[in-house]
Structure 1
Amino acid sequence: MTSMYETLIAEDEANRLAALGLASFIVEAPAGAGKTELLTQRYLKLLQTVESPEEIIAITFTNKAAAEMRLRILESLKLALDDVPPPQAHKQITYALAKQALQLSAEHHWQLLQNPARLRITTIDAFCGHLARQMPLLSRFGSQPMMSIDASVHYQEAVRRTLEMLDSGDEHGKVVADTLSHLDNNTERLTELLVKMLSQRDQWLGHAQQLDSSKGAEAALCHLLAQDMAQAAAVLPSDLQSQLMPLVRFAAANLPEDASIALLRDWDEPLEADLAMLPAWRVIADFLLTGTNEFRKEKGLNVRNGFPATDEGRANKAVFQAVVDAIRQHPSAELHLSHIRKLPSLEGGEESWHLVATFAHLLNLAVAHLWTVFQEAGEVDFIGVAQRALQALEDETGATDLAMKLDYRISHLLVDEFQDTSPTQVELLRRLTRGWLPDDGRTLFCVGDPMQSIYRFRKADVGLFLQVAESGIDHIRLNKLKLYRNNRSCPQVVDWINQAFRLAFPQQDSVARGAISYRPFVAGKPVAEDGGVQVHPVLAARNTSKLAAEMLEAIQVANIIEAEQHEYPGRTIAVLVRARDHLTALVTEIRRARPNIKFQAVEIETLSGRQSVQDVLALTHALHHRADRVNWLAILRAPWCGLTLADMHVLAADDHDSTIWSLMQDEARLAKMSIDGQARLRHTKQVLMQALLHQGRQSTRRWVESVWLLLNGPACLWDTGDVRDVQAFFDLIESLDAGNGFSLTALEEGMQKLYAAPDAQATESLQFMTIHKSKGLEFDTVILPGLDRGNAQQDQPLLLWEEVSMPDATLGSATELIAAPLMPKGSRQHDLPTPYDYLQGLEKERAQNESLRVLYVAATRAERKLHLLGIAKLDEDAVGQVKEPTANTHLSHLWPQVAAYFMQAAAVTQPDEWINAEEKPTLASFTPQLMRLKQVGKPELFQAIVTKELARNSNLLGESLAKSPPAVEDYHSLEKNIGILAHRYVELMAQSGLEAWNIERLQTFKPVMQGWFQQAGHDAKQAEQGAVKVLHALIVTLDSEQGRWVLQARETARAELALTTIENGDASTRVIDRTFIENGERWIIDYKSAPLNAALNQEAIAQYAEQYRAQLEAYAALFTGEGLPIKKAILFLSIGKLAVLD
């Protein structure tokens, strides 16, 4: 007898070959099925049917997927150049098809390998942009706008202009006023709702412009409600209703007259699936179900439910349990009965429809303003491009010239990840294929896995996959094919996933509720000796804090990582979570106690979470607001200043009213601080004093970054990740300046959308990421913590829409639209569900069904091992028992499969081993770590040379500030700016100590250097050249014996020493690069960054240095009062050699 495995493998192979046929297909391919290979084969096969490769268009959803498909096709063509076919069977098919494609390429002079751009493989967004550019007038763009990556600022401006119409006195003003009145005049709430709606306007814009009457909407709503009631009636056929009747009558007789069950006190006839009987159906649903929509249990029935503690009551409870057991035999009985509770009342329909019309009018106004804002900014968002692409293909009269032109040119369309398409994208396919005829040789090929549809937040609708598979797109019918072989995971993982998710997934597909039943698959790999699924229960007592439980789970995850890395050092590991903050405890544990674990966090940590960025953010806040006490204290604590807590206490503890800046001017306070603290604070004060004087004279970025540089900010960065993070922060400031203007609020909002760079020392062997980010990837070992975490809160948009397919006598079916307005609690006339509640209930079910698919995606990333972790509360009233997890969490979905592991763990865990309430940290147990530079700032001026009066009044720091970046007139001089920047970094190296510097660290500053050169007015190419030359000079100097001797730490050493003297009544300031006392001699050294030939002998170098003698003689004259012998020298940074001027 043929096994199920053999049957599915045979069907899989047959369907893979069928997918190469010249017909339209929709292919269901499970995780790890090799969709890219299938698409590659299909593409190569289609090349045999066209006159030019441009007739084939392959569409994906990400640039990465498009690049992977293109690369796979090109690699297949290159492999086919050899006459040695690959050993794998599926690769041999690709090889044969590629051979044929190469022959055609040669015959038709396509030159595919030389011209890979002829392969039209693109993302859906790029394709829409291409269409819009084809006919700019028809697509309403005119000139081509830029693509806005973050259009939220445009949405907000459009909403602001819309709400300003309140005082217009016309119809538009009344619409704004009526909407505000409905929302209790909460302008902030309305702004938030409208901005959200604009970001999703592709879902509703067509509907908002087609609201004719409420009759069709009411009929559509009734149609949906009737379907739900019919499903409930199927759960409770007349025979089961007859068994329920005496129980309901008994309970009603034992409850007050005003109880809802009194409606069925005399129930003796089966209820029909009729909307008129909806109140009675609600009573039955309440009678059978608990508040959490689970069937009531016999032991849970009491006098409050109408079952008193009498013999008759106990007998009826037993009968109740028997009836419930019979109802349970129907699939999804609880679900269908729970739907009855959510069915809305149809009262107040006209008032609701008036609100719908008002809101739709307001939304149309906001969209009109948005297009005005887009035109003024010369930008547009992705939704706008897609909408204009549709307009370019079809207008009121039908297909446009472009559509007909494309109809002639496009012979085949391939769509990857079809389960993630949105209504707009399916409409695009409909318009592209509008002119296709049956059997004309043109084909549509869609491939995807509905079990992996997880992008509802991007408007993806898995119901579209089901609809297209069943009905096609317009007149194009697609042949349905299924693949069953998973080539990624070992059989142990595959078998476990099949068993667990078959129980968890919905029993049947539902377009309306986004439900997908489980599609089993088989493993294409052999059994792995060390493969399988492991469950790691995390048990907590009732009073355990959330943080304490999560920390214990994090410790277990860290232990698993260390064990896996120790046993299998060459394998890849991924920790996958549903939300970024689910990794907080794990990252904290690793940084606290496991520094040996190096990981790449892919878009996990926000930029604002990195200390280096927090420091420069505090600096930005402080510079803009002198009264911002917290941030002023933060910059004094930051590494570039590094005051101790004792010094900060002296400075500010006894005065909570004055600003920190004013306290910094109090010399009496400074005198009470430590000597080190005084030096640190004086340097920081000098820099900030000049910075405040320069406020408003330059761009925000240049201003803040200049201050950061003078505070030695770069010396406080530890690795390339810090460099990139700070660079991203300054880039954000620059983009805000270039946009609508810089503000601290916009800065904070922008930072929440940026993520910290991954650890530069980590490899890809260990990665932390969200499940959504992991889609399409695979890892040897996958760890899934936080299975007990709940879903995110559901949004409440201004309007909810639902398209309903209605039976039509002439057309067979027609689409009607339901629209429901947001109804604040205070505006409701009753406690029954409203149409808005009903539609939101549908959205909630869709979200819950998608959450289950997210878990499936996570589990199917594993090749060999899958580790599952979740926190469960111990039942303290029943030793050895665990409470069931919260409904609709990932743990609850897997509970039938993993509950035994938790119960077993609970049975061997003693109460004193439970995680109890979190211990509160105390000040006594907390010792803050102070990270700071060893030496900051410029030293005190020699009092014998500079008078106190001059020291107080001269603009010493202004000279330095003017050099960072250089003044406008110096922009043209790249070599001069190379010298300036090289001097800065040599100064940093000398001040922070050579032991803190190596070649690797220097190279991490290259992006910062490039940014500095670009701010100084150089283009990207010159910035690259400048950074390379500066890095070369620094590396050579650091690597040379003479360079290290000059820069080594000495008690008497000073770097960039500014000395001011009076000459002919005028103040003159000279800055000495390096000076120190060595063996009783004063050394004065000047740095030169001019490029010299490293092969020059010492005599030639000395001759070159001679031209700077006058400059060094002037420096030496400043030190004659010391009475020490003076040595003058030039350090040539480009060759690392010292030339002494005798």
Structure 2
Amino acid sequence: MAREVLKLWSGPDALLKALRPYVGSHELEIQVAEPGSLEERITLLTGLIDSIRQQWQEQREQVIEQTDGRVSRYTGNNYAKWLGVIDLWAASNQRTLSVPKELFKFSASTLVQKLKKGQPSPTLEIFDVIERLESLPRTLADVLFAEALVEVRERFKRGKERLHQRTFDDLLTGLDQGLVAEGGEALARQILNLYPVALIDEFQDTDPLQYRIFSRIYSAQEPLGLFMIGDPKQAIYAFRGADIFTYIQARREVTDHFTLGTNYRSTRSMVETVNLLFDEAEQRSERGAFIFNRDISFSAVNAADKSAPLRLDDELYPSLNFSYYDDGEEINLETYRDVMAKACAREIGSLLQAGLEGRARINQQALKPKDIAILVRSKHEAALVRQELRKLNIPSVYLSERDSVFETRLASELLLLLQAVLSCENETRIRSALATRLLGVSADELERFRTDEALWDHEMQRFAHYRWQWERFGILVMLRRLIFERELAARLLGLEGGERDLTDLLHLGELLQQAQITQEGAHALLRWFETQLQRPNQEHKDQQLRLESERELLKVVTIHKSKGLEYPLVFAPFVCAVRSKAPKETLYHREQQILLELNASDEAKELAEQERLAEELRLLYVALTRAACACWIGVAPSRDLKIKKPVVTILCFTEAVSGICYSMVRYEISRGWSGLCMSWPISIPRSR
């Protein structure tokens, strides 16, 4: 059993990482195939496998007699290879749930299906046993996951009770239970007396538990009011537990709907462009622009026209710009990202140069880096585009929502430094610390330390002094002294990405100083620091990366972080680079039920893929609507994206950003509408 479990998860930490997103999801129902317990599953599977092995060895000749030549294609070299593979497996003593795929060529239904006309049906019991084994999930993943989730939730609950702690989820769960328990109606009336009117903002990000609470409190009684305010097209927080299907349920149950029909953020041209894209998609797709067309539809909005457009050389810069790459072949996602990062940086460089020359202006003000935001999905995408910006000497700052300072390279290097300080008699650890980018000792200097004994003794004394300062005055004092003595600030700021490193170093120093209050001694503090690096908490606000500069730089922002914000110019170079691999767990909805399958059926996979696609389209909508003046999008023909070369067309995302249906809306260039533009291909000079 241990061997099978280790095939699924490398250890407790890996299992916990898989469980963590679902620990607080009490509405979740895990779909487990029968048999539904760990012991029953492994007993049944091992029993069937042992039986097949034994019967194969005993009845091998009879198997050949009933299949060789009697079943189509069960003859010749391939047939002999199948038998050889199964012979080796049956003779082995390895205890495993893995079986050769060739075995299932001898299942009863397969043999009957391929049986030659006029031949008698195979009658051996082993064929039925193989059929039974094929029908079962040959894994412990679903049952172990389900049992582990129950166990982790129970231990988490007991731990909180022991420490007399309650989380925000506990407060919600307690209120939900209280409203249905004895005295629940009185509790609801008391809340109503305190708050006869409730306004819930960002309601598209709610979950079933929260909606159930408000529904019970604000029932049909008068006088009271419940106002649920939200835009389902901007529901992009499923990874945090937000449930768009709760919004859909609420919308169906509420009779009065009101819509805000005016955009006060964007220029008229930008608003009309987005209207055109999604109106066209709404009309062309049976499922609507956002898949769930019955409940999430697109309605064109008006423009307040309070924003000034971007002008380039006294002409209006197009509201929507597609940069299309085509070298004659479909490309993979890695190439797509690389090409679009370069194209994005080049276009930004061109615009900023025009701003310096006074040719690019917004409301008579020269275009500046602070006017531009690049929207990405991940740290990896941010790193790609920032690397290209640095090549053009364009400084930028990366704003992410969930990255922990304990996940940075600087944190790992600081750990090496602190280990060297506390083990100042250990020459190997000191050399490791000196060789980091943080301390920046070159290979030549390290060689000098090896050959110059006096110089090395002096260096070891410095580390001993750092240890004395740490134990006497605290870790932050020691770190600041080290930064001053070794002139780390000046050296780091002279390196690429050094501003980020210096910010992280000071941030980590503050966190260590805070933790020092609760830790007994320097060694305990070091152990605490090691634990944080192993298990960073991205939800803890104190750990989240800080802005490395207060300067008004170009911003690289995750799409999730950008929600609710606005930028004059938005660049979305990687909107087509959606997740290409399906997750191990299949999470989907059926009516109002949230289901999780580890051994997913084809139907479950299809429903989960539909929900994933719908969220990708909402991400695209959020990205486009952050722009006040103009938006730039990068697309390319890809094996994954299924995008084909356009002729004189404008690309319109109907049902997919990637990997699903993709359509193109023809737009006659002769009509001269300036709202849209195609720059195609990016390998030649732009033409608008």
Q: Which TM class, normalised by the smaller chain length?
A: 0.5 to 0.7
Unaligned runs of at least 5 residues, structure 2 = 37-70, 74-130, 310-315, 670-675
Give matches, 1:474-873, under 5 Å: 478-504=255-281, 507-508=286-287, 516-525=296-305, 528=309, 529-530=316-317, 532-539=319-326, 546=335, 549-563=339-353, 565-566=355-356, 567-568=360-361, 569=366, 572-594=371-393, 597-603=394-400, 607=405, 616-623=414-421, 632-633=431-432, 635-636=434-435, 643-648=441-446, 650-651=447-448, 664=449, 669-670=451-452, 683-691=458-466, 711=486, 713=488, 718=493, 724-734=503-513, 738=518, 741-747=527-533, 749-750=535-536, 754-760=543-549, 762-763=551-552, 766-791=554-579, 793-797=581-585, 802-804=589-591, 821-823=597-599, 834-835=600-601, 838-872=603-637
CA–CA separation in structure 1 for the residues paired with 2:596 and 2:367: 56
CA–CA separation in structure 1 for the residues paired with 2:679 and 2:532: 52
Question: Which residue of structure 1 aligns with residue 101 of structure 2?
Answer: none
The 1:818/1:386 distance shift into structure 2, 3 A limit, reads closer
SS at match of 1:767: strand
CA–CA separation in structure 2 for the residues paired with 1:513 and 1:398: 41
The 1:820/1:200 distance shift into structure 2, 3 A limit, reads closer
The 1:533/1:397 distance shift into structure 2, 3 A limit, reads same
Contact 1:608 1:752 in 2 (8 A): no
Q: Report the alpha carbon displacement of residue 402 of structure 1 after superposing the two structures with TM.
A: 3.3
Under a length normalisation based on structure 2, what TM-score does the superposition of the two structures give? 0.64
SS at match of 2:680: helix
Aligned-partner residue type, residue 464 of structure 2: M
CA–CA separation in structure 1 for the residues paired with 2:413 and 2:35: 58
CA–CA separation in structure 1 for the residues paired with 2:432 and 2:13: 36
Number of corresponding residues: 543
Aligned-partner residue type, residue 279 of structure 2: R
The 1:593/1:903 distance shift into structure 2, 3 A limit, reads closer
SS at match of 1:445: strand
Higher mean Cα deviation, 557-566 or 448-457? 557-566
CA–CA separation in structure 2 for the residues paired with 1:618 and 1:409: 56
The 1:511/1:909 distance shift into structure 2, 3 A limit, reads closer
Contact 2:198 2:226 in 1 (8 A): yes
Aligned-partner residue type, residue 588 of structure 1: Q
CA–CA separation in structure 2 for the residues paired with 1:196 and 1:513: 33
Contact 2:202 2:231 in 1 (8 A): yes
CA–CA separation in structure 2 for the residues paired with 1:395 and 1:757: 44
Q: Report the alpha carbon displacement of residue 602 of structure 1 after superposing the two structures with TM.
A: 2.1
SS at match of 2:621: helix
CA–CA separation in structure 2 for the residues paired with 1:795 and 1:873: 21
Q: Deviations over 1:1075-1098 (max 9, x none)?
A: xxxxxxxxxxxxxxxxxxxxxxxx
The 1:767/1:565 distance shift into structure 2, 3 A limit, reads farther
CA–CA separation in structure 2 for the residues paired with 1:743 and 1:613: 9
CA–CA separation in structure 2 for the residues paired with 1:896 and 1:486: 26
The 1:720/1:186 distance shift into structure 2, 3 A limit, reads closer
Q: Report the alpha carbon displacement of residue 607 of structure 1 after superposing the two structures with TM.
A: 4.1
CA–CA separation in structure 1 for the residues paired with 2:473 and 2:294: 54
Q: Report the alpha carbon displacement of residue 199 of structure 1 after superposing the two structures with TM.
A: 3.8
The 1:353/1:374 distance shift into structure 2, 3 A limit, reads same
Aligned-partner residue type, residue 218 of structure 2: T
The 1:539/1:610 distance shift into structure 2, 3 A limit, reads farther
Specify which structure has the bigger relative contact order, considering alpha-carbon pairs within 8 angstroms and separated by 6 or more residues.
Answer: 2
Question: Which residue of structure 2 aligns with residue 200 of structure 1?
Answer: 22
Contact 1:687 1:710 in 2 (8 A): no
Contact 2:323 2:678 in 1 (8 A): no
The 1:621/1:907 distance shift into structure 2, 3 A limit, reads closer
Q: Report the alpha carbon displacement of residue 403 of structure 1 after superposing the two structures with TM.
A: 2.7
SS at match of 2:305: coil
Q: Deviations over 1:380-431 (max 9, x none)?
A: 443333223323x424336164333113332111111222211122122123
Q: Report the alpha carbon displacement of residue 638 of structure 1 after superposing the two structures with TM.
A: 5.3
SS at match of 2:551: coil
The 1:464/1:206 distance shift into structure 2, 3 A limit, reads closer
Q: Deviations over 1:271-303 (max 9, x none)?
A: xxxxxxxxxxxxxxxxxxxxxxxxxxxxxxxxx
CA–CA separation in structure 2 for the residues paired with 1:611 and 1:367: 33
Question: Which residue of structure 2 aligns with residue 220 of structure 1?
Answer: none
Contact 1:615 1:635 in 2 (8 A): no
SS at match of 1:480: coil
The 1:564/1:630 distance shift into structure 2, 3 A limit, reads farther
Contact 2:414 2:438 in 1 (8 A): no
Contact 1:607 1:755 in 2 (8 A): yes
Question: Which residue of structure 1 aligns with residue 44 of structure 2?
Answer: none
SS at match of 1:494: helix
CA–CA separation in structure 2 for the residues paired with 1:786 and 1:892: 16
Q: Report the alpha carbon displacement of residue 851 of structure 1 after superposing the two structures with TM.
A: 0.7
| 2:678 counterpart of 1:896 | no
Q: Report the alpha carbon displacement of residue 565 of structure 1 after superposing the two structures with TM.
A: 3.6
Q: Report the alpha carbon displacement of residue 850 of structure 1 after superposing the two structures with TM.
A: 0.6
Q: Deviations over 1:406-464 (max 9, x none)?
A: 13332111111222211122122123224x42xx2211111222111111112222222
SS at match of 1:188: coil
The 1:908/1:869 distance shift into structure 2, 3 A limit, reads closer
Root-mean-square deviation (CA, aligned residues, Å) is: 5.1
Contact 2:404 2:536 in 1 (8 A): no
Q: Report the alpha carbon displacement of residue 852 of structure 1 after superposing the two structures with TM.
A: 0.9
Aligned-partner residue type, residue 598 of structure 2: L
Aligned-partner residue type, residue 298 of structure 2: Y
SS at match of 1:742: helix
Contact 1:203 1:423 in 2 (8 A): no
The 1:495/1:892 distance shift into structure 2, 3 A limit, reads farther
Give matches, 1:861-1010, under 5 Å: 861-872=626-637, 888-889=656-657, 896-897=664-665, 905-906=680-681
The 1:380/1:684 distance shift into structure 2, 3 A limit, reads farther
Among 205, 208, 223, the residue aligned to 1:420: 205
Identical columns (%): 18
Contact 2:205 2:235 in 1 (8 A): yes
Contact 2:568 2:628 in 1 (8 A): yes
Under a length normalisation based on structure 1, what TM-score does the superposition of the two structures give? 0.41
Contact 1:603 1:769 in 2 (8 A): yes
Contact 2:613 2:656 in 1 (8 A): yes
Q: Report the alpha carbon displacement of residue 349 of structure 1 after superposing the two structures with TM.
A: 9.4
Aligned-partner residue type, residue 372 of structure 1: R
Question: Which residue of structure 1 aligns with residue 114 of structure 2?
Answer: none
